[in-house]
Amino acid sequence: MDNREIARLLAETADLMEIAGEDAFRVRSFRNGAAAVENYPENLCEIAATNPRRLTDIPGIGKSLAAAIQEICRRGSFERRDQLLAKYPPTALELLKIQGLGPKTIALLWEHYRVSTVDDLERLCKEQKLRVLPRMGPKLEEKILRSITHYRQSAGRFLLSFADETCRQILEFLAPVEGIERITPAGSLRRGKETVGDLDLLVTGPNASAALDRFTQYPDIVELLSHGSNKASAKIGPQAIQVDIRALPSDSYGAALQYFTGSKEHNIALRNRALKLGYSLSEYGLFTLKDERKVAGRTEEEIYERLGLAWIPPELRENQGEIEAAAEGRLPDLVRFDQIRGDLHAHTTESDGRATLEEMAQAARALGYSYLAITDHSKALAMANGLDETRVIAFARKVRELNARGDLGIRLLAGIECDIRRDGTMDLADDALAELDIVIGSIHSYMNLEPAEMTDRLLRALESPYLHVLGHPTGRLLLAREGYAYDFERVAQEAARRNVAFEINASPERLDLYDVRLRAAKALGCRFVIATDAHHPRHLEYMRYGVMMARRGWLQPSDVLNTLSWEELARALRRG
Ligand code: DGT
Ligand code: CA
Ligand code: CA
Ligand code: ZN
């Protein structure tokens, strides 16, 4: 059992404890324990087997959690969890994924109506049976129905980072097979879409079908769906993500890669263009209509070229004007990861990060960056130990001293992720903000305001002369929470006018902003920073996902401020 699975069981138990109305302190200790387990570098079951007393040495793991972990390693569950699952059906956990439905409400619905599934809940809302309960009304029923729709759209999809990591592990497992020329992920993963339905892998080489055979031996397979000489499909891991893997001859590899990369909409448009030019296009190649002669198929480039097009980067293949742009030679020169010179959003142990400033600096330097902005939370986030004015000023001084000492090997920027209050004012006084190199303003509370009020709140925030960046601008959490509602265009216009950049938050649960909004904001003259919101040195590597989003938004290096050197960036940040 790996740490992630142990963490999942602990977190799930915390959810059930919350539904059962247990002491908030105990619930939190389970949550913290789950986070500690997930981030721990060694396998906990090995420790439990060899030296169980070491478990309580792990910060966040006390005696009772250590006992729970030992029990989990022994038999896959533990007593407290079993008791709770006897009381509430496991489907009750699914209800927690419905936005706007907290554990207290779920407990109440269970008490009154024995609601335990999403379908039950939907029926009750439609029959207007929620509004008769205390503190509930028609508005809540409406909101829950909307959330259920969103939940169903998300069901069966996975975060890009999860799909990417799963793919990496499979590729590693297949690496020893000999006689393979290439294995490439296609589908939505190759296009860098923020959520992925299933994985599509393509293999070519004289021994490609042996890769399929080996794939069926992958240790994490929970269900083998099919296995032939050209294709194998299986569901993998506790989340049962589906993987389709295809073996292909080299002379049609490009055609297959093009076809299985999609998107479906892009393919349909491309096929129509082929027909107009006298060709048929399929996963086997590009053929003349007249005598079915194959004219391209080995590489993607030769297919696009035959169709009079520049090669189109996968991130653009959504049939959003990329084919026209490729025909007219005006595809954007998309920003690349190797052009990123620094990260502009990172947390440390000063607030809710897990590493010290020095550790974060070292990790950023290892990535080859020339600067890193430390942007811990401000005081409104008391739970995260946010900084007040006094601490901000002391922190800015410390950063200046560290930079002056000159032995970090990287330039640190003193920053803050300043909370935007309900009324749109900044959580910190101007004289403290003035001490900082970079100020990100973010919303972390009152996310359900009416759109007009939320728009005013953001416009007011943009008035602050110290604000440089609007952090995670939609507030969405992928597969969990929709962004808050406001007039995006008005806010983007005002951000452009006041020279406040939009963040592309690269954290895999956020990826915020995203393609459509990026293009809209760019058209209005906005500029962007790509930043990871790292709470751990490892998270700095999420930058790649942020760059994918930027590319999906057609952004060029000149649109992205952290492609600049620190000196240029400092000038660009200065408020105009
Ligand atoms: P996903 O898995 O839902 O995140 O999205 P995709 O884009 O990976 O879709 P998937 O796995 O169903 O299919 C992979 C690619 O295969 C898709 O992007 C385009 C191609 N494809 C699948 N079905 C069709 C189809 O009916 N027509 C065309 N033209 N292409 C298709
Ligand atoms: Ca797919
Ligand atoms: Ca597929
Ligand atoms: Zn934030």
Average pLDDT over residues 66-77: 95
Ligand 1: atom nearest CA of 259 is 20
Ligand 1: atom nearest CA of 244 is 11
- pLDDT reading at 132 higher than 50: yes
Q: How far, in Å, CA of 349 to CA of 102, rounded?
A: 29
Which residue has its alpha carbon closest to ligand 1 atom 22? 264
Q: H-helix or E-strand containing 231? A: strand 231-236
Write the pLDDT tens digit of every residue in 516-529: 999 999 999 999 99
Q: How far, in Å, CA of 114 to CA of 109, rounded?
A: 6
- Out of 25-39, 323-337, 493-507, pick the least confident: 25-39
Write the pLDDT tens digit of every residue in 185-206: 999 999 999 999 999 999 999 9
Phi/psi of residue 387, nearest 5 degrees: -80, 140
Confirm if 59 and 36 have CB atoms less than 8 A apart: yes
Q: How far, in Å, CA of 360 to CA of 225, rounded?
A: 44
Which residue has its alpha carbon closest to ligand 1 atom 15? 260
Tell me which DSSP letter residue 312 carries: P
Would you say the CB of residue 260 lies under 6 angstroms from ligand 1? yes
pTM for this prediction = 0.86
- pLDDT reading at 216 higher than 60: yes
Q: How far, in Å, CA of 136 to CA of 109, rounded?
A: 11
Give 235 Cα–ligand 2 centroid separation in angstroms.
13
Mutate to test the pocket of ligand 1, among 264, 270, 300, 316 (most ligand atoms within 8 A of CB): 264
What's residue 575's pLDDT? 65
Average pLDDT over residues 24-33: 91
Q: How far, in Å, CA of 457 to CA of 454, rounded?
A: 5
Q: How far, in Å, CA of 218 to CA of 413, rounded?
A: 45
Would you say the CB of residue 196 lies under 6 angstroms from ligand 1? yes
Confidence label for 267 from pLDDT (cuts 50, 70 and 90): very high
All domains of the chain, ordered by start, with CATH?
A: 3-154 (1.10.150.110), 158-248 (3.30.460.10), 253-327 (3.30.210.10), 337-572 (3.20.20.140)
Query: pLDDT > 70: what percent of the chain?
Result: 100
Q: How far, in Å, CA of 442 to CA of 496, rounded?
A: 17
Average pLDDT over residues 370-395: 95
CA distances (Å), 149 to each of 135, 156, 251, 370, 429, in order? Answer: 23, 14, 44, 44, 41
Q: How far is CA 366 from the centre of its chain?
A: 23
Cβ neighbours around 533 below 10 Å, total: 26
Tell me which DSSP letter residue 271 carries: H
Write the pLDDT tens digit of every residue in 140-177: 899 899 989 888 888 889 999 999 999 999 999 999 99
Average pLDDT over residues 485-502: 97
Is omega for the bond preceding 133 within 30 degrees of 0, making it cis?
Answer: no
Average pLDDT over residues 472-501: 95
- pLDDT reading at 576 higher than 50: no
Is omega for the bond preceding 263 within 30 degrees of 0, making it cis?
Answer: yes
State the ligand closest to the CA atom of 472: 4
Q: H-helix or E-strand containing 573? A: helix 566-573
Q: Taking every pair of C-alpha atoms in the chain, what is the biggest distance, in angstroms? A: 79
Confidence label for 94 from pLDDT (cuts 50, 70 and 90): confident
Confidence label for 116 from pLDDT (cuts 50, 70 and 90): confident
